[in-house]
């Protein structure tokens, strides 16, 4: 059977895997483990995160650590801009990599905005504000590492010296609820897998592997 040019172009694209979860859920640990496993299978991915290291991302980091103060609506807008730059910038933008056939794994994407900013404003507004990004690139799959706020805070407290703006238990409870609400709201257009993150790193890594390996033809 003949494939059309647009079909071919799509099938040559890399996968885009987005990891989500409340702070301290174990996302970066699992991204590292997945990346190693993919490498062992001959697949090299580009790993990245939001907020990014761009000038917009640096501004966000300074706000999150309390060095700069601003309104929550301003932060939500900065994340929209950081995400578009993450996708589109000419030096290391995600879109160019995906279209060039490289798979990308990101620590947080627009579901983070839906979950975190809906604590202070309507989720519909946050989804609308991110419409450009979701039109440009939806994740092949979003992997949500689910832990209770208690577990997350315990893990954070063991390993970090300072707590950022969002790492308070009551807030994390709302953020986790918002994630679930967003997954329900967008279940028709987004592929999401929820993984029990309360287990050992190895058990979680096995579940992640089972969820994503098929996308890499493994
Ligand atoms: P995130 O990127 O979601 O903030 P991390 O991967 O940095 O989370 O994990 C937060 C902390 O919890 C780290 O110190 C990490 O070593 C630890 N951790 C990660 N996964 C587990 C796990 N399954 N069990 C116990 N501790 C974990
Ligand atoms: P960071 O320490 O970089 O990440 P992590 O906790 O995952 O190790 O902090 C990023 C913080 O920014 C985290 O609390 C979630 C928040 N955030 C938003 O509020 N909106 C967003 O759109 C994104 C991507 C993150």
- Please state the atom number of ligand 1 nearest to the C-alpha of residue 23: 4
Q: What is the gyration radius of the CA atoms in the chain, in angstroms?
A: 17
Centre of ligand 1 from the C-alpha of residue 89, in Å = 30
CA distance between the termini of the chain: 24
Look at residue 159 in the predicted model and tell me its pLDDT.
74
Residues whose CB falls within 8 Å of the CB of residue 73, separated by 6 or more in sequence, listed in order? 120, 121
pTM: 0.94
Centre of ligand 1 from the C-alpha of residue 115, in Å = 20
Q: Mean pLDDT, 10 residues at a time, over the chain (218 residues)?
A: 49 94 97 98 98 98 95 97 97 97 98 97 98 98 97 84 66 97 98 98 98 98
Please give the structure tokens belonging to residue 129: 């504000």
- How far apart are the C-alpha atoms of 124 and 24, rounded to whole Å? 26
Question: Backbone dihedral region of 7: left (phi > 0), alpha (psi from -120 to 50 degrees) or beta?
Answer: alpha
Tell me, what DSSP letter sits at residue 145?
A: E
Which protein residues touch ligand 1 with a CB less than 6 Å away? Answer: 21, 23-29, 155, 159, 200-201, 204
Mutation pick for ligand 1 pocket among 18, 29, 165 (CB with most ligand atoms within 8 Å): 29
């Amino acid at each position: 059977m003949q494939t059309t040019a647009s079909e071919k172009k799509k099938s040559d694209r890399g996968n885009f895997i987005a990891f989500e979860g409340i702070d301290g859920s174990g996302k970066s640990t699992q991204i590292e483990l997945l990346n190693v496993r993919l490498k062992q299978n001959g697949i090299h991915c580009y790993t990245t995160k939001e907020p990014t290291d761009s000038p917009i991302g640096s501004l966000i980091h300074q706000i999150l650590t309390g060095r700069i103060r601003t309104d929550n609506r301003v932060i939500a807008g900065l994340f929209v801009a950081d995400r578009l730059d993450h996708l589109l910038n000419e030096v290391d933008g995600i879109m160019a990599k995906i279209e060039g056939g490289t798979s990308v794994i990101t620590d947080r994407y627009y579901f983070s905005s839906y979950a975190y900013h809906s604590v202070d404003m309507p989720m519909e507004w946050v989804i609308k504000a991110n419409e450009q990004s979701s039109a440009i690139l939806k994740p092949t799959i979003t992997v949500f590492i689910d832990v209770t706020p208690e577990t997350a805070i315990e893990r954070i407290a063991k390993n970090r010296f300072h707590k950022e703006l969002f790492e308070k238990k009551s807030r994390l409870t709302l953020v986790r609820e918002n994630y679930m609400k967003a997954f329900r709201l967008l279940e028709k257009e987004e592929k999401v897998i929820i993984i029990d993150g309360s287990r050992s790193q190895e058990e979680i890594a096995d579940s992640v592997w089972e969820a994503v390996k098929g996308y890499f033809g493994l």
